[in-house]
């Protein structure tokens, strides 16, 4: 016999959402976010960044070229494989990406510069030309140097060709002498008093 008074599970309950209540909460949250955004902007003074300026140092890309390095997982960033940027505290894996990084917006911002270039005056341009002229060493490369190098290379090439030709002539002469020696009958050579055609020099 079945028991009619057994306690069952009431699964007819459905959660009902009040649409208006949630819309109100969303409006309040948006209002708080916009207020906090305006407050943070008004509190902080506007950042005035310096314009871009050219590097006054050489970028070292070749000092670690061809060297091997053992890297452990617990090694600090500066000792890991790749190029370490101390300004941004990051490691870049190759030289092309490292150059992109140090010329990029993130790195320049960390240095306190915007990506805008300052307009140069006539005097600044003239000064820059003067410094570049002074930097150019007197023993710099000229067209005359290029002509001399080309002439020297041509002379060396001609000398190498001449030596090759001489070596070929020597080989041919040696081969011809060996063939003649092979053609002579040893009995005839013995009768004539020749022991052979080999040279006595050793």
CB atoms within 10 A of CB 83: 20
Compare 18 and 163 and report the one with higher pLDDT: 163
The mean pLDDT of 4-11, rounded to a whole number, is 62
- pLDDT on residue 140: 60
Lowest mean pLDDT among 117-131, 141-155, 185-199: 185-199
Does the pLDDT value for residue 186 go beyond 80? Answer: no
Does the pLDDT value for residue 190 go beyond 80? Answer: no
What residues contact residue 84 under an 8 Å CB cut-off, 6+ apart?
77, 78, 90, 91, 92
Does the pLDDT value for residue 195 go beyond 80? Answer: no
Question: pTM higher than 0.85 for the full model?
Answer: no
- pLDDT on residue 2: 52
Does the pLDDT value for residue 198 go beyond 80? Answer: no
- pLDDT on residue 33: 85
The mean pLDDT of 1-13, rounded to a whole number, is 61
The mean pLDDT of 144-153, rounded to a whole number, is 84
Q: Tell me: the pLDDT tens digits for 86-127?
A: 889 899 988 899 999 999 999 998 888 888 888 889 999 999
Contact 103, 125 (CB under 8 A): no
């Amino acid at each position: 016999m079945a028991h009619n008074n057994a306690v069952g599970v009431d699964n007819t309950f459905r959660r009902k959402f009040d649409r208006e209540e949630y819309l109100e909460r969303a409006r309040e949250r948006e209002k708080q976010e916009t207020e906090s955004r305006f407050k943070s902007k008004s509190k902080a003074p506007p950042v005035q960044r310096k314009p871009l300026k050219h590097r006054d140092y050489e970028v070292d890309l070749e000092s670690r070229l061809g060297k091997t390095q053992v890297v452990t997982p617990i090694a600090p960033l500066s000792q890991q494989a790749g190029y370490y940027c101390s300004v941004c505290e990051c490691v870049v894996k190759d030289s092309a990406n490292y150059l992109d990084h140090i010329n990029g917006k993130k790195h320049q911002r960390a240095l306190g510069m915007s990506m805008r270039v300052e307009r140069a005056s006539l005097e600044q341009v003239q000064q820059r030309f003067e410094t570049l002229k002074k930097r150019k060493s007197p023993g710099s490369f000229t067209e005359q140097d290029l002509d001399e190098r080309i002439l020297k290379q041509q002379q060396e090439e001609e000398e190498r060709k001449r030596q090759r030709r001489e070596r070929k002539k020597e080989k041919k002469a040696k081969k011809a002498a060996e063939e003649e020696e092979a053609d002579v009958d040893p009995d005839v050579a013995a009768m004539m008093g020749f022991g052979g055609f080999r040279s006595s020099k050793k």
